């Protein structure tokens, strides 16, 4: 059993500084990045304020450790919050939506 590195294609947002660190290898570009799990308190507060100001009024957002929990009785309201957050380019973290019902 050989241990070969796993290659995965992902789409990421990069700052101008990160773009300068790209290395060209043949027809590929490589960038060594560190991954973070969860979001910081500052980002969570920013997202909560955005949801409160621009989202539907029936949606509640609360910070739980390194996660932001958004709840509502309506699926449509949750979908509108997801689209609202996806539409903002100034959010500096990759968003992942889980446990949607």
Contact yes or no for 63/29 (Cβ under 8 A): no
Query: Comparing C-alpha atoms, which of 50, 59, 64 is closest to residue 92?
Result: 50
pLDDT at position 65: 87
Residues 6+ apart with CB under 8 A from 95: 85, 86
At residue 62, the pLDDT reads 93
Single out the residue of 69, 50, 72, 49 nearest to residue 61, CA to CA. Answer: 69
Q: 29 to each of 14, 26, 81, 87, how far by Cα in Å?
A: 13, 8, 34, 27
Q: Measure the CA–CA gap between 88 and 47, rounded to whole angstroms.
A: 10
Helix, strand, or coil here: 25?
Answer: strand
pLDDT, block means (10 residues), the chain with 101 residues: 62 70 62 76 91 92 90 91 89 80 59
């Amino acid at each position: 059993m050989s241990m070969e590195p796993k290659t995965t294609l992902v789409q990421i947002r990069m700052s101008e500084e990160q773009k300068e660190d790209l290395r060209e290898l043949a027809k590929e570009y490589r960038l060594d990045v560190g991954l973070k799990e969860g979001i910081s308190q500052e980002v969570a507060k920013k997202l909560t304020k955005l949801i409160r100001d621009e989202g539907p009024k029936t949606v509640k957002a609360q910070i739980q450790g390194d996660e932001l929990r958004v709840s509502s009785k309506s699926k449509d309201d949750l979908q509108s919050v997801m689209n609202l957050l996806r539409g903002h380019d100034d959010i500096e973290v990759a968003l992942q939506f889980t446990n949607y019902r």
